[in-house]
Amino acid sequence: MADLWTSADIAEATGGAASAPFAVSGVAFDSREVTGGDLFVAMKGEATDGHKFIGKAFAQGAAGAIVSEAVDHPHILVKDSAAALEALGRASRKRMGGKVIGVTGSVGKTGTKEALFQALDRAHPGQVHRSVKSYNNHVGVPLSLARMPRDTAFGVFEMGMNHAGELATLTRQVRPHVAIVTAIAPAHIEYFGTEAKIAEAKAEIFEGLEPGGTAIIPYDSPHVALLYNRAERHAANILTFGMSADADVHAREAVAAPGGGTLVTAKLPDAELCFTVAAPGDHWVSNALAVLAAVSAVGGDLAAAGLALAEMPGLPGRGERRIVPVAGGEALLIDESYNANPLSMAATLKQLGREQADRRIAVLGGMRELGARSAELHADLAGPLEAGQVDYAILVGVEMAPLADALDGSIAYVHVPDTASATTLLTTEIRAGDAVLVKGSNGIGLSRLVAALGEPARDGETN
């Protein structure tokens, strides 16, 4: 296998000076993630200084480091390690001759990114690179770029933001040939004031499009006209996707599949495809349509994409479904603990209502960064809860008080202060035949509740 980077490559890309020749096979900025052959990027942050972990990184097998202070290990000395990582990411993107897809949106980014990876990798195994986890911010994006092998045929990168201007910076690093906006929801509305402002910020992804690039936007969004207008300024081609027959890529038919998921007949401008989306829910049908639009735009294999969508497993924290043993039998756990906003809450509660179960239990954590509209948007979840035929709700955190007031006895519920209390309650309440949805903003920590039922907790990033 060819080296990912040599010390000479890194020095040239970053403008730094190499202490000795070395070569690396990976890149990491968290010493806990360093494996043999990695380049460790020692960055100084507000809370800590990566230089303190140089010894640990090399003990775990690092082959070299980017540093802003000389160390007694092979390194590239630069003025600013964070800036050097960005430079390395830009150099990686410049040397890559394949096609790049950028993904953003208020909901569905990571799932769509993972589905795109599976869809493209099915036809081009080992030639597709994507950002891991939710590495989608000002550090995660250049890291994901820097990790991309030079002979990559397709790169898929997730980009997030919580302030205007952030996405414009990221997309100019990624320089996508195809840019996708999955959906717009009032996530981070605390920082924007209106959903339209969020749509404007998400539309910044189009600013980095390569000449001749394609913008892919959600036709069913109330902000489709705004997104289309912004896309026209930068894209040579625009594809819309959605359930409406007026969308360029739409579902002519979508029916429940035996054993879960959805059987879909999708119409594209130049093709028609029948396939199964393994993940249940209308929101996953929408994600799949965006995936097909992107695969088509980069000249990928649509048939292989359909097979990949049929086999794609659920993602931890984003819809993973598993059977857990309980007294007297088994229960279904739907893990949506990674994040939440009003749109994703409504979508997952709707799907919960379709589950065949003796009882439907919703464990809902507060939704963060909703600003002045927080009480209103939490209270508005009463409708989706009722529509989802929820039998019992466990509401977690102070943000959920308005929803507790709005339910007013229409649904059996308990309002608890924190995840620990919810965990104690659920582990005593859950019984055989239940379907349990766990969903909330990552800061609420509901992944710890999932961990208590047998899965490790996770860390997160930005939206």
Structural tokens at position 263: 């059987």
Residue 57 lies in a domain: yes
Task: Check residue 458 and give its pLDDT.
Answer: 40
Handedness of CA 78, 81, 84, 85 (dihedral sign): positive
Residue 209 lies in a domain: yes
**One domain for residues 213 and 280:** yes
Instruction: State yes or no: pLDDT of 258 exceeds 70.
Output: yes
Mean pLDDT of 255-263: 87
| Residue 31 vs residues 5, 61, 111: alpha-carbon distances, Å | 19, 10, 27
d(C-alpha 206, C-alpha 422), whole Å: 42
Instruction: Name the percent of the chain lying above pLDDT 90.
Output: 86
Instruction: State yes or no: pLDDT of 316 exceeds 90.
Output: no
**One domain for residues 244 and 133:** yes
What crossing angle do the helices spanning 282-297 and 342-352 adopt, rounded to 10°?
120
Task: Check residue 1 and give its pLDDT.
Answer: 55
Structural tokens at position 282: 């209308």
Residue 22 belongs to domain with CATH number: 3.40.1390.10
Residue 402 pLDDT level (bands cut at 50, 70, 90): very high
**One domain for residues 151 and 288:** yes
**One domain for residues 179 and 261:** yes
Higher-pLDDT residue of 46, 158: 158
**One domain for residues 306 and 326:** no
Residue type, 7: S
Q: CA 75 from chain center: how many Å?
A: 33
Residue 457 pLDDT level (bands cut at 50, 70, 90): very low
Residue 233 lies in a domain: yes
* CA triple 308-309-313, angle to 5 deg: 90
Q: pLDDT tens digits, residue range 349-389?
A: 999 999 999 999 999 999 998 999 999 999 999 999 999 99
Q: Judge whether 349 and 388 are in contact, CB under 8 Å.
A: yes
d(C-alpha 217, C-alpha 139), whole Å: 26
Mean pLDDT of 85-103: 98
**One domain for residues 307 and 325:** no
H-state helical runs in 136-223: 140-146, 166-174, 189-192, 195-202
Query: How do strand 128-130 and strand 5-6 relate by DSSP bridges?
Result: unpaired
Residue 460 lies in a domain: no
Q: Judge whether 99 and 178 are in contact, CB under 8 Å.
A: yes
Structural tokens at position 136: 């989608």
Task: Check residue 318 and give its pLDDT.
Answer: 85
Q: CA 186 from chain center: how many Å?
A: 16
The pTM (predicted TM-score) of the whole model is 0.86
d(C-alpha 166, C-alpha 187), whole Å: 15
Q: pLDDT tens digits, residue range 28-85?
A: 999 999 999 999 999 998 788 999 999 999 999 999 999 999 999 999 999 999 999 9
Residue 142 belongs to domain with CATH number: 3.40.1190.10
**One domain for residues 373 and 265:** no
Residue type, 58: F
Q: CB within 8 A of 316, min separation 6: which ones?
A: 335, 338, 455, 458
Query: How do strand 178-181 and strand 64-67 relate by DSSP bridges?
Result: unpaired
**One domain for residues 67 and 125:** no
Helix, strand, coil percentages, rounded to 5, for the chain: 40, 25, 35
Helix (H, G, I), strand (E, B) or coil at 258: coil
Measured from the Cβ of residue 191, the count of other Cβ atoms closer than 10 Å reads: 15
**One domain for residues 160 and 72:** no
Q: Give the total number of structural domains in the chain.
A: 3
Task: Check residue 460 and give its pLDDT.
Answer: 39
**One domain for residues 332 and 295:** no
Residue 88 lies in a domain: no
User: What is the full DSSP assignment across 400-446?
Assistant: GHHHHHHHTTSSEEEEESSHHHHHHHHHHH--TTEEEEEE--GGG-T
Q: CB within 8 A of 365, min separation 6: which ones?
A: 337, 340, 396, 397, 399, 400, 419, 422, 439, 440, 441, 444, 445, 446
Q: 255, 286, 311: which is the final residue of a domain?
A: 311
Task: Check residue 315 and give its pLDDT.
Answer: 81
Residue 360 lies in a domain: yes
Residue 132 pLDDT level (bands cut at 50, 70, 90): confident
Instruction: State yes or no: pLDDT of 462 exceeds 50.
Output: no
**One domain for residues 101 and 69:** no
Task: Check residue 162 and give its pLDDT.
Answer: 87
What crossing angle do the helices spanning 195-202 and 224-232 adopt, rounded to 10°?
30
CA-atom Rg of the chain in angstroms:
23
Instruction: State yes or no: pLDDT of 158 exceeds 50.
Output: yes
Instruction: State yes or no: pLDDT of 134 exceeds 80.
Output: no
Q: pLDDT tens digits, residue range 6-15?
A: 999 999 999 9
Structural tokens at position 3: 């080296």
Instruction: State yes or no: pLDDT of 103 exceeds 70.
Output: yes
Residue 86 lies in a domain: no
Q: 279, 311, 343: which is the final residue of a domain?
A: 311
d(C-alpha 273, C-alpha 22), whole Å: 49
Average pLDDT, the chain: 94
Half-sphere exposure (CA, 13 Å, Cβ side) for 360? Answer: 17
d(C-alpha 179, C-alpha 203), whole Å: 9
Instruction: State yes or no: pLDDT of 461 exceeds 60.
Output: no
Residue 310 pLDDT level (bands cut at 50, 70, 90): very high
Residue 405 belongs to domain with CATH number: 3.90.190.20
**One domain for residues 217 and 343:** no
Residue 250 pLDDT level (bands cut at 50, 70, 90): very high
Query: How do strand 271-277 and strand 262-268 relate by DSSP bridges?
Result: antiparallel
Q: 39, 58, 81: which is the final residue of a domain?
A: 81
Give the chain's end-to-end CA distance (angstroms, integer): 35
Helix (H, G, I), strand (E, B) or coil at 177: coil
- Give the range of the structural domain holding residue 214, as residue numbers without chain letter: 96-311
Residue 91 lies in a domain: no
Higher-pLDDT residue of 335, 132: 335
